[in-house]
Amino acid sequence: MNYIASPAFDKLPEPDTFYPAQPGRAPQWRDNPSDRDIEIIRRAYPVEDEFDLILSRKMKRRNSGTYRLPTLDEMSACVRAFLSANIEGEFSISNEAWLTGGASKIQFGFTLQWCAPERGHSVDKLVVRMEPSESLNATSRRREFQVIRAIADTVPVPQTFWMDPEGEWFPEPAIVYGFIPGTAKPTMDRARVSGIGTQFGPELRARLGPQFVRHLAAIHTFDWRQADLSSFNKPALGTTEASLWQLNRARRVWEEDRGEDLPLVEHVANWLQDNMPVLDHASVLHGDYRAGNFLFNEINCEITGWLDWERCYIGDRHRDLAWATTPLFGSTAEDGKTFLVSGLVPEQQFYEEYQKISGLEIDPQRLHYFRVLNAYQSMVGPIGSSYRVVRLGKSHQDIVLAILEGAAYPNANELLKLLREKY
């Protein structure tokens, strides 16, 4: 690692030692980090225990070569071996197929015929969900499995079946969950990328909007203390722990992955560190709560399930509130001016109904903080992580990640506006 010794300022105290990016075709230390490199970054940015494991694993495997998507036959063989170890009795699988959607995960669908405990002979459509060897968001299947299982009686979610948290059976850590029927976007809006400015139309909005708000309030008021969330660190109330872990996670990812240095990113990290809010109420957070991450039945207009819980953690509800109200995920109503949160609910109405249902207040200052954090994270991933993944050929969707860089700059523009706002 090269350290720039600048006589302009006092030597930067740890953890602020700066290791510049080395763009270009020549080998970079970030392509092949030593144990010492990994340890320096670990110590510089303390994160939740499970994320420490995930990110360290990513770095230790970094020089393991390019990624190859398993063939259907190979994946089927993995599924069979896994099920043999986890199911008693005869079973058969069929209709195996790779599923599309999502920039960071691989999903494999299949139909399982088996003798399910308490149900007897069953036919279940299942999904294996895992990451490629590196992705846009390095996350934990263990955490995803635990939170979906914990929240199952609170909001509609897929049914969880099994997990392989260490990648013992599958090429990568994986969870197996039930397929949920439904669509992520209305038929009339098929051409648009799911979750970006979705146009639901007034009729669907009237039915889905209340569910959207109600489910978020339910998640944030869920009593997680009774649930098995052993892979989640629990932040203390009255501290900035929750915010610091999230900031450090993003900073650590930037340090581990980036291919270019950006003064703006450094500036924002400083601002975030200086303005961390104190936690008043610890909530389970979805982490990516927006249109595009729920499925719904277009006929009865019911939300059938919330997906993509990989970014979940226990922390400040304002993080989810800020994310859900991100301009990129919203759209404008037919009047040409009313901003609709995730294309569903006028913004003020969203806040009012959320507060009424949850009993939790929304603090504009904390909302602002998490808007900045979200925008920062939305630069770190597309600019930093996507660079490293594509450079090293670490996913089955390198082309998606190459294009995703462009998504960082509307976020950067939003960030500049946010930083000019005064609170």
Residues that bind another protein (CB under 8 A): 4-10, 12-13, 16, 18, 20-21, 23-24, 69, 97-100, 197, 260-267, 269-270, 273-274, 328, 331-332, 396-397, 399-400, 402-403, 405-410, 412-413, 416, 419
DSSP E strands, 82-183: 91-99, 106-116, 120-130, 160-164, 174-178
Strands ordered across the beta sheet of 331-332? 331-332, 339-341, 345-346
- Smallest distance, Å, CB 163 to another protein? 24
SS3 281: coil
The 3-state secondary structure of 241-272 reads HHHHHHHHHHHHHHHHHCCCCCHHHHHHHHHH
SS3 296: strand
- Smallest distance, Å, CB 98 to another protein? 5
- Smallest distance, Å, CB 219 to another protein? 28
- Smallest distance, Å, CB 193 to another protein? 9
Residue number, 44 or 301, with CB nearest to another protein: 44
CB contact at 8 A, 177 and 160: yes
Residue number, 104 or 397, with CB nearest to another protein: 397
Q: Give the Cα separation of 298 and 80 in Å (integer).
A: 34
Residue number, 14 or 90, with CB nearest to another protein: 14
Residue number, 238 or 406, with CB nearest to another protein: 406
Residue number, 39 or 260, with CB nearest to another protein: 260
- Smallest distance, Å, CB 15 to another protein? 10
Q: Give the Cα separation of 275 and 418 in Å (integer).
A: 13
- Smallest distance, Å, CB 356 to another protein? 31
Residue number, 56 or 378, with CB nearest to another protein: 378
Strand partners, 92: 113
Give the phi and the psi of residue 351 in degrees, each rounded to 5: -65, -45
Residue number, 216 or 272, with CB nearest to another protein: 272
* DSSP secondary structure letters along 347-409: HHHHHHHHHHHH-----HHHHHHHHHHHHHHHHIIIIIIHHHHHHHT-SS-HHHHHHHGGGHH
- Smallest distance, Å, CB 337 to another protein? 13
